[in-house]
Every structure is written in C-alpha cells, then in structure tokens.
C-alpha cells in the first residue's frame, strides 16, 4: 500500500506535528508528510519541520484581502505538494465551508477535550470550570462548524486535584501525541471510514478508538 501524503497546518509549537513526523519514520506507517504550512511567520513548528527536512510554507492571512483568497492560497500550496489529506495540528483558524467542502472528509483536527464538550478556546479552563473529573482529547474529521465533525479516536485523561489549565494541558498533550498518529493510521489503512456523520471502524478494531488510562500520567 502506498503511503498517503499528508499536509500539516500549524500556528505554533508543533508538538503534534512532530509526533506525526516521528510516526512517519516507521516503514510500516501508512502515511508521509509532504508539506507543513504555518499561518504564523516564525512559528516554532517551522524550525522543527526544517530540521526534519520537510517542505514548509508560511501563508499569512494578513497578506490576503479576504478569507476566501487566503484559503485559496492554502488550497493551491497543498495541491501543489500532492498532499491527499490535511492534518490541523494547533492551527488557530477556523477554515470556511468553501475550503472544508473542497477537502470533504480529508481534513483532520485534534482538540484537547472529549468532544462535543468544551469546543473553542481555553478548553482546559472550560473543563476545570465545569468540574469534570475526566477530560481528554479527540481526533475528528473537520466540518465547517468549530471543533465539529465525526470522531475518529478519543483518549480519556483524569483531572487531578489541584490541576491548573497548564497542568491539565500538559497531561493531555502526552495522549494527543499517541492519539493523532493512531487516527491517521486507522484512516489511511481503511480500518476507519467516514460514513455520514460518524466514523465506522473495521470489525474487531473498535478498542483502538478509545484510550483510557485512569492512572495520572504526570
Ligand atoms: C494542542 O493542544 C492541540 O490539541 C490544540 O492546540 C495545541 C497545539 O499544540 N488544537 P502543538 O502546536 O501541537 O504543540
């Protein structure tokens, strides 16, 4: 099976991007990263992409008159790279329906909560404010609404006594780094398939879509 070509969109640190790059190092991983795109000049993740020898580009919203022009530029650079799937990894923009529909079921996102709870910004503070005992992270197919779309995989992570948004975020991030490559693997091997508003998992593979670790990671 040939490796699925991925483009990764980032805005900052790029630790999820790095976890995908690391997974792609394995000969048995069914994907390869052909492009990293940042909307933020000098994003930390760009240096990581450079170090890994991955083609990268910066496309700034402020250089375009409107959102559609900006998204058309994103679309062009991704198509030129030959990428077949787009992974949003800390990309701090909501892509419009025009773009999302062009890449129907081909855009993935990772969000640091158990969706559909706590969409949007300040996710960890939202979880703490709600007093939940468990939070987690979700990889989902992107639909035009914010943090919405069919769920591929989730990990459940405990909220500990005395947690702050930072400590919870750090604990969840460890699981994100396991979860994102797993979601990509499932989709690229065909073990996971989008069917309507849900993701169907191949018979007998259901257990890999939920990762539960009740012991505090940190
Ligand atoms: C992650 O927590 C991700 O879930 C969220 O933004 C953060 C990005 O971190 N969407 P990084 O840039 O991957 O390190």
Structure tokens at 15: 């630790």
Q: CATH code for 111-138+151-212?
A: 3.40.50.170
Q: Measured from the CB, is residue 23 less than 6 Å from ligand 1?
A: no
Q: Which atom of ligand 1 has the smallest separation from the CA of 109?
A: 10
Q: Which atom of ligand 1 has the smallest separation from the CA of 110?
A: 4
Residue nearest to atom 8 of ligand 1 (CA): 90
**pTM, 2 dp:** 0.95
Q: What is the pLDDT of residues 85-104, one digit of tens each?
A: 999 999 999 999 999 999 99
DSSP 131-198: T-SEEEEEEEE--SSTT-S-EEEEEEEEPPTT--HHHHHHHHHHHHHHHHHHHHHHHHHTSEEEETTE
Residue nearest to atom 7 of ligand 1 (CA): 90
CA of 204 to the centre of ligand 1 (A): 30
Residue nearest to atom 5 of ligand 1 (CA): 90
Confirm or reject CATH 3.40.50.620 for domain 1-103, answering yes or no: no
Q: What is the pLDDT of residues 126-182, one digit of tens each?
A: 999 999 999 999 999 999 999 999 999 999 999 999 999 999 999 999 999 999 999
Catalytic: 140?
A: no
Of 172, 8, 152, 151, nearest in space to 90 by CA: 8
218 — pLDDT class (breaks 50, 70, 90): very low
Question: What are the boundaries of each domain within the chain?
Answer: 1-103, 111-138+151-212
């Amino acid at each position: 099976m040939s490796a699925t070509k991925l483009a990764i969109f980032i805005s900052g640190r790029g630790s999820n991007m790095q976890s995908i790059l690391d997974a792609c190092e394995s000969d048995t991983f069914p994907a390869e990263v052909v492009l990293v795109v940042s909307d933020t000049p000098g994003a930390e993740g760009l240096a990581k992409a450079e170090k890994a020898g991955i083609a990268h580009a910066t496309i700034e919203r402020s250089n375009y008159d409107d959102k559609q022009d900006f998204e058309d530029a994103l679309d062009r650079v991704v198509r030129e790279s030959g990428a077949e799937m787009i992974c949003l990894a800390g990309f701090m923009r909501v892509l419009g329906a025009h773009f999302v529909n062009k890449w129907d079921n081909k855009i993935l996102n990772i969000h640091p909560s158990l969706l559909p709870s706590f969409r949007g910004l300040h996710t960890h503070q939202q979880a703490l404010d709600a007093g939940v005992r468990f939070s987690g992270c979700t990889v989902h197919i992107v639909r035009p609404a914010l943090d919405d779309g069919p769920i591929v995989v989730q990990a459940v992570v405990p909220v500990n006594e005395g947690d702050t948004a930072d400590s919870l975020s750090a604990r969840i991030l460890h699981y994100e780094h396991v979860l994102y490559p797993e979601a990509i693997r499932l989709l690229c091997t065909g073990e996971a398939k989008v069917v309507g508003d849900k993701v169907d998992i191949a018979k007998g593979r259901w257990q890999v879509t939920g990762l539960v670790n009740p012991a505090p990671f940190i």
